[in-house]
């Protein structure tokens, strides 16, 4: 055998070893995800029935459920979406389509990049000081929803900008040439073309918000809630009729906080409840991410510039 053959063999072996290493580490990570889900299912699947969704939390583990928690999570997500989507879209459109390059827009951009790296619990502290005490929103659904909206705002802005940036300049120029104003170009052309990209970003951002625990604990979300927020215009116990937005100002709990509460309790039964709540949370998160991947996939197939 010639010496060169020897070198080639060694190089090929080296490549093979690196391939095996890469694939096995990747499988280790994905396997962990699988084990994590299996672990939740193993501990919690037996607790997962209709009663679990329709009962409030309780001192007795086998009677406890996630009614207040899932309703709280749904309402918080509604407030978060309604706050973060318009704000994030508007800011993203401004920065990408209007802003001139000057120190001020530079400042806004650095600022957004930094906001994306601020730990979520810091947002909670800010909301506690500002929303709960200074603006007197209280420890309410409104406070919680707005806190999470602040948290995901950078993600929505970045997604909006990237979606707009991927539209070729010629599309804008064609519309301008026909006499459209800047807003007409955005409204009738850019937004429809970028809808897929923006929705992917928004959905991923909401998926992040749904699992957030720390900021909501900081603003003082309760761990034990045995009532639902009043439906608009419904009769309350006090004899008054609820206003259209009374639910915004009520105390709340959410799924991750309920799970955290059960995790901290001693005893196998509560651990099973925690696992069941975790399973619901995982299904919601994975579902949301699957939708985002689906939207992205369809968009890629449909639009080819």
Positions in 26-85 near other proteins (CB under 8 A): 26, 28-30, 32-33, 35-36, 39-40, 43
| Nearest one of 75, 90, 52 to 231, comparing CA atoms | 75
* Three-state DSSP state, 265: coil
* Closest CB 57 distance from other proteins, rounded Å: 15
| Lookup: tokens for 218 | 């900081």
Q: How many positions of this chain bind other proteins (CB under 8 A)? A: 92
Q: Is 155 in the site for other proteins (CB under 8 A)?
A: no
Neighbours of 164 (CB within 10 A): 21
| Nearest one of 281, 251, 217, 226 to 59, comparing CA atoms | 226
* Closest CB 74 distance from other proteins, rounded Å: 16
| Nearest one of 221, 259, 210 to 128, comparing CA atoms | 221
151 exposed, middle or buried (CB, 10 Å; 0-12, 13-18, 19+)?
buried
Residues 286-305 that bind other proteins (CB under 8 A): 286, 289, 293
Q: Which of 41, 61, 78, 87 binds other proteins (CB under 8 A)?
A: 87
* Closest CB 49 distance from other proteins, rounded Å: 20
Selected range binding other proteins among 47-55, 165-173, 210-218, 236-244, rule: CB under 8 A: 210-218
Residues 225-284 that bind other proteins (CB under 8 A): 256, 259-260, 263-264, 271, 274-275, 278, 281-282
Q: Which of 68, 69, 79, 112 binds other proteins (CB under 8 A)?
A: 112
In the shown chain, the binding pattern of residues 171 to 190 toward other proteins, with x for contact by CB under 8 A and - for none, equals: ----------xxx-------
Residues 6+ apart with CB under 8 A from 118: none
Complex with other proteins: residue 59 or 100, whichever CB lies closer: 100
Selected range binding other proteins among 51-59, 107-115, 191-199, 236-244, rule: CB under 8 A: 107-115
* Closest CB 263 distance from other proteins, rounded Å: 5
In whole angstroms, what is the distance from residue 287 CA to residue 13 CA? 41
In whole angstroms, what is the distance from residue 104 CA to residue 87 CA? 19
In whole angstroms, what is the distance from residue 291 CA to residue 246 CA? 32
């Amino acid at each position: 055998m010639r010496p060169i053959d020897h070198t080639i063999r060694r190089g090929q072996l080296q490549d093979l070893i690196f391939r095996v290493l890469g694939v096995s580490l990747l499988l280790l990570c994905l396997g962990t995800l699988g084990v994590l889900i299996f672990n939740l299912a193993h501990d919690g699947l037996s607790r997962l029935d209709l009663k679990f969704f329709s009962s409030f939390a309780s001192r007795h583990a086998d009677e406890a459920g996630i009614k207040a928690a899932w309703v709280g999570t749904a309402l918080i997500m509604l407030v978060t979406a309604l706050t973060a989507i318009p704000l994030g879209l508007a800011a993203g459109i401004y920065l990408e389509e209007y802003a001139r390059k000057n120190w001020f827009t530079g400042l806004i951009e650095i600022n957004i990049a930094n906001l994306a790296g601020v730990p979520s619990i810091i947002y909670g502290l800010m909301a506690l000081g500002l929303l709960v005490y200074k603006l007197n929103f209280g420890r309410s659904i409104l406070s919680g929803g707005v806190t999470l909206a602040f948290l995901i705002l950078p993600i929505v802005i970045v997604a909006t900008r990237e979606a707009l940036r991927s539209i070729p300049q010629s599309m804008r120029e064609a519309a301008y040439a026909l006499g459209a104003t800047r807003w007409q170009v955005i409204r009738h052309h850019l937004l429809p073309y970028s809808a897929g990209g923006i929705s992917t970003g928004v959905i991923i951002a909401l998926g992040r918000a749904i699992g957030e625990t720390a900021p909501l604990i900081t603003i003082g979300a309760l761990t034990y809630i045995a009532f639902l927020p009043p439906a608009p215009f419904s009769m309350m116990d006090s004899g008054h009729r609820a206003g259209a937005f009374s639910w915004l100002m009520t105390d709340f709990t959410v799924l991750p906080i309920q799970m955290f509460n059960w995790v901290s309790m001693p005893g196998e039964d509560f651990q099973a409840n925690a696992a069941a709540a975790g399973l619901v949370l995982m299904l919601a998160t994975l579902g949301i991410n699957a939708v985002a991947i689906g939207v992205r996939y369809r968009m890629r197939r449909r639009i080819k510039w």
